[in-house]
Amino acid sequence: GLPDGNGLDLLSELRGKNGDPVPVVLFTAQDVEEQVSRGVAATLIKSRTSVDKLVETITRIIDNPETTSPAQEPESHVPPPS
C-alpha cells in the first residue's frame, strides 16, 4: 500500500482541468466494493484479466472518453464501443 493511504482514497480528488472527474481504471489484485466500481470507468482484477484485455480497456477509454461511464461488472466495467 501507499505510505499515507491507498489509491482508493484519491478517487474523489481526481479531476480534469475543467473540474470533471477523469476516467479511472482500477487494476487490482483484490475484488473491490460495488460502490467503488460504480465510481470508475473500469475495474479489472489482475488474476482474471489478460494484458491484452488491459490494453484494450485503456485504449477504449482513451479513444471514447465521452462514452465512458461507471462500470457494472467486476472483470471489466467498460461500455462496448459504439
| H or E stretch covering 42 | strand 42-45
* pLDDT value for 1: 61
Euclidean distance between CA atoms 31 and 19, whole angstroms:
29
With contact defined as beta carbons under 8 Å apart, do 40 and 78 qualify? no
- What are the per-10-residue average pLDDT scores of the chain (82 residues)? 76 81 89 88 94 96 71 44 47
pLDDT value of position 74? 40
State CA 25 to chain mean position distance. 2
Helix, strand, coil shares, percent, the chain, to 5: 40, 15, 50
| Residue 5 bridge partners (DSSP) | 2
pLDDT score of 14: 82
pLDDT at 56: 96
